[in-house]
Structure 1
Amino acid sequence: METSSVFRLSPLIRITLLSLYVALTLPLPFLADFTNAPVPPGLLWVGISCGFVILYAVLTERVILNEEGIQVAYAAWVPKFFRKGWCLPWSEVQQLKPRTTGQGGIVYYFVSQDQKAYLLPMRIAGFARFVRTVQEKTGIDTTDVYPLSQPWMYLILLLFTLLMFLVDGWTILTAMTVS
C-alpha cells in the first residue's frame, strides 16, 4: 500500500490573501457609481468576481508526496493551461538550490538530473514535516531550509486588512449616502 501526504496552502495565508483582495476591490464599484466613472459598476463587479475566482484557483495549490516523488497540483476545476503544476520523481532530484529574491528572501529550487528547476513550495501548512520528508527521500540536507514568510507576517497583514475593511465600510457608506 502506497502512503502519500498532501500539504495544502496554509489557511492563514489563504484567508489573508483572499481578504486583502476583497478589501482592495470591494469599494471600487461604489466609488465608480459615486464619481460617475466611465466604467460601469456592473462591469467592475464582473471583473472583481473573475479576479476572485482566479486568485482562489491559485490558492488551491497542494503538494503531494509519495514513495515515487513530489507533485504540485491544483484543484480539478482549475484549467491546466492556467496552472499546470508539476511532478518530479525522487530519483530525479539532484540538489536543492537556494536563490535570493528581489526582496532579500531566499527561495529554493529542486534541480533535476536534466537541470530543470522546480520551485520548492514554501507557503504550505506543515512545512517542517514536508522538509523532513524531502530530506528522507532525497538525502539532501534541509536543516537550513525555512519558509519564505513567517506566520506573524501574515497575521500583521491580516490585521491591517481587517482595518482596511473598516475604511471600506466607511467609504461605501459615504458613497451610498451622498449620491
Structure 2
Amino acid sequence: MRALPRIAIAVSIAAMLSACPSCAQDAASAKAFLTSIYQHYQNGAEDGSAGINFDGYQAANYYHSSLLALMRADVKANGPDNVPAIDFDPICGCQDWDGIWDLKIDVQIQTPQRALASLSFALAPPKDRPKDATRKLVFTLIPEHGAWRIYDIRDESDPAMTFSVRKLLEDDLASLHSNAAPKTAPTTSH
C-alpha cells in the first residue's frame, strides 16, 4: 500500500519535469525575456546599465550555452593580442550607446522549441539622432533549462552587411584553426 503513494509522487514529478521545457515556448514569454534583456540597456552605460557581458556571471541567463561556448572559444583562440570576432555587444549591435529608444519586438513562434524575434530600436534619442543609430536585429530563441535563451542574433541594421553572430564566430574559429601552424619537433642535425 505504501508503494502506491510513492509511485503517484514519482509519476507527478516526472510529468512536471517533462512539462518544464514547454514553460518557455510561447510568444508572450519570449517577448518578456527580450524586454528584460533590454532593461539593461535603457539608460546607457553612464548609470551602470552595462548591458549583458557574455563573459559575465549572468551570461547563462541570457545566452544559450552553445553560443556562449563559441564566444568564449573565439576569445581564447584569438589570444590576448588579437581582437576576437565579437568585439562589440551583439545584443545592441554596438560598442557604445546612450540608451535604447523606440524598442519594438515582434515574436513569431516557429515550433515549441524555436522562436524568431524581430527587434528594432535606436541607440540615441529622437532629437539629433544620427542615421546609423537605428538597429534591426533578429534573435533566434530556443529553450534551455526551461527558459528562453539566445541561440543566435542576425544583425540586419545595414542591409549591405547583414551577419549572424553564430556564423561569424564559427567562421573565425575555422579560420584560426586552418591558419594555425602545425607544431613539429625541431630538427637536429648530426
TM-score (structure 1 length as normaliser): 0.31
Asked which structure has the greater RCO (Cα within 8 Å, sep 6+), the reply is: 1
- The structure that has the greater radius of gyration is 2
More helix by share: 1
